[in-house]
Copies of this chain bind each other. A is one copy, B any other.
Amino acid sequence: MSVAKEVTNVEAQVIAAKKAAKRVGLLSTEEKNEALYILADTLEKNHQVILAANEKDLLVGREKGYEEAYLDRLALSKERIVDFAEGLRQVAKLKDPAGEILSSWTLENGLLVEKVTVPLGVIGMIYEARPNVTVDATGLALKSGNAIILKGGSSALSSNKAIVQVMQGALNKTKIPKEAVQFIASTDRVATQQLFTMKEHIDVLIPRGGASLISAVVNNATVPVLETGVGNCHLYIDVEADVEKALNILVNAKTDRPAVCNALETVIIHKKWLEKNSELLITAFKEHGISIHGDKVALSYIPNAVLANEADWANEYLSLELAVKTVDSLDEAIVHIETYGTKHSEAIVTENKATAKKFMSLVDASALYHNASTRFTDGGALGFGAEIGISTQKLHARGPMGLPALMTIKYMMSGNGQTR
């Protein structure tokens, strides 16, 4: 494989992917699944090659002074590579999303109309850091009959390149042409920007990573985008909230994995509930190391809290910091969420079903929770089997995106000479 050619000719890679996509789209479920099992086995067998490449990335990262937590996410191990392989086997077991007749009917003139799922074609994945996306996205794209263009972040360049080389080698033993998986090895921005405008050849771009990566894609791409990402998630603790449920959900949503998009960023508390339960709340904050930015009422109850400013309400802390807003009513809570929310995941704790119903009807978000943690907004947790990202847009796919998000439809009409 000529890396030099890859670097200099993004367009040729994309055109090759488009051509390969047609062939992947015609394969049977069995042929696609067999290929995924071969990919999985080959990744496991070649774990040393991948680990060696990963060492290079870690070395560069340490030289550049990256934080230890960042390097942890970047670091691979034999176990993690086995997990990657297992993920591909899980995808192989999922139902094939292609060729499903969603509905069919016959017109009065005898024309048969069938609405059938078909692959989108070429998926462009632009992502940062974690090399697992390289494997996960490839598995989902191939299972759904698509080709994929992978443009990973520069900090995982060697790891991603090694993973793709191993997978392309494995594809030679399958019915899937290896051109269906393309890796853009260039680290400059020009290569990424080229992908933004290749509307003729790329059917969708999916950005995964930080807010700046996502907004760069959304604001500059003419290729359709499936936007993922930012989650300024709220939990509203109603006056009729059960104390234990409220505290458990609050702590879980904030602390289980603070750096992810479905983590809690602001808790909105009914003043009467706060008045009754402030002691327990303060204990929970202390125990779990949660630091508070609160409004004036919140500050009158919570020691060591700092006064929240306008920026705090909009902030995705992605840490153990938490904003606390107090309200007199459900309506006030909803207005706050409307003003500062990002339509990702919003939760209410209440024993009053009518209140819960009102919250879930009126709040505009991809995932609404009554008496459960926002942390469940995840393809794996919700039982989708696998996830290509969490959509924060309303068109095409909303919330966690599994295989169906990588499909479009065709109307297929069969007649015997019908005219209008």
Identify the A interface with B (CB < 8 A): 22, 25-26, 105, 107, 111, 113, 120-121, 203-204, 218-219, 222, 224, 226, 242, 244-245, 248-249, 251-253, 256, 356, 360-362, 364-373, 375-377, 381-383, 393-396, 398-400, 408-420
Contacts and interface: CB of A to CB of B under 8 A. Distances in A.
Nearest to A338: B22
B411 A377 contact: yes
Contacts of A245: 416-417
A252 B418 CA distance: 9
A418 B372 contact: yes
Top 7 A-B residue pairs of the complex, sorted by shortest distance between their CB atoms: A372-B415, A252-B419, A245-B417, A394-B408, A395-B396, A396-B396, A375-B420
19 contacts: A25-B361, A26-B362, A107-B376, A113-B382, A204-B394, A204-B395, A224-B393, A256-B420, A360-B410, A367-B410, A370-B414, A370-B415, A371-B414, A372-B414, A373-B419, A375-B419, A395-B396, A398-B408, A399-B411
Contacts of A411: 366-368, 377, 382, 398-400
A113 B365 CA distance: 15
B419 A249 contact: yes
A236 B120 CA distance: 24
Contacts of A218: 222
A111 B376 contact: yes
A224 B105 contact: no
A260 to B, nearest CB: 11
Q: What number of copies of this chain does the assembly contain?
A: 2
A370 B413 contact: yes
Given A383-B105, A408-B394, A409-B398, A417 B248 contact: yes
A376 B25 CA distance: 26
Contacts of A409: 398-399
Contacts of A370: 412-415
A253 B417 CA distance: 11
A27 to B, nearest CB: 12
Contact of A368 (B249, B413, B417, B420): B413
Contact of A362 (B22, B248, B383, B408): B22
Contact of A398 (B25, B366, B410, B417): B410
A92 to B, nearest CB: 22
Contacts of A375: 419-420
Nearest to A400: B411
Nearest to A107: B383
B410 A373 contact: no
A242 B410 CA distance: 25
Contacts of A105: 383
Contacts of A248: 417, 419
A254 to B, nearest CB: 11
A297 to B, nearest CB: 26
A3 B247 CA distance: 53
A395 B417 contact: no
